[in-house]
Amino acid sequence: MGGGKKKTTLRKMEKARTRKGAQKESKPSKPSRHITEKKTAGIVSPDSKSEKVLSELKKIRALTPYTVASRFNLRLGVARDLLEELERRRVIEYVSGSKNLKIYKLAN
């Protein structure tokens, strides 16, 4: 019963367009933001046996997949696999966590 919106006439469309054009001209232009390039995270995990990787892991207090992924620029799945590999080799120990988050620490 309400019906649709009525079409605007050509004269009204022309007036609206000229008003918009006048508003755009009066606004000061915003400085353009510098857009940084988006880096893709690495898929290949670093060598879990290298001393450089182990020394970097010693600096991290709580080893979670997120902290490892952000430190080595990896994807979360790759970081999770790296931590599981280090746990199998008994370099790190599982502390606590749930299905979604696992927390590790360096083995003594």
pLDDT of the residue at 25: 65
Taking the C-alpha atoms of residue 80 and residue 5, their distance in angstroms, rounded to an integer, is 55
Q: Break the chain into its structural domains and give their ranges.
A: 51-106
Per CATH, the number for 51-106 is 1.10.10.10
Q: Whole-model pTM above 0.85? A: no
Statement: residue 108 has pLDDT above 80: no
Report, as an integer, the average pLDDT of 43-49: 82
Report, as an integer, the average pLDDT of 4-8: 86
Residue with token string 């893709």: 40
pLDDT of the residue at 15: 92
Report, as an integer, the average pLDDT of 72-89: 92
Average model confidence (pLDDT) for the chain? Answer: 86
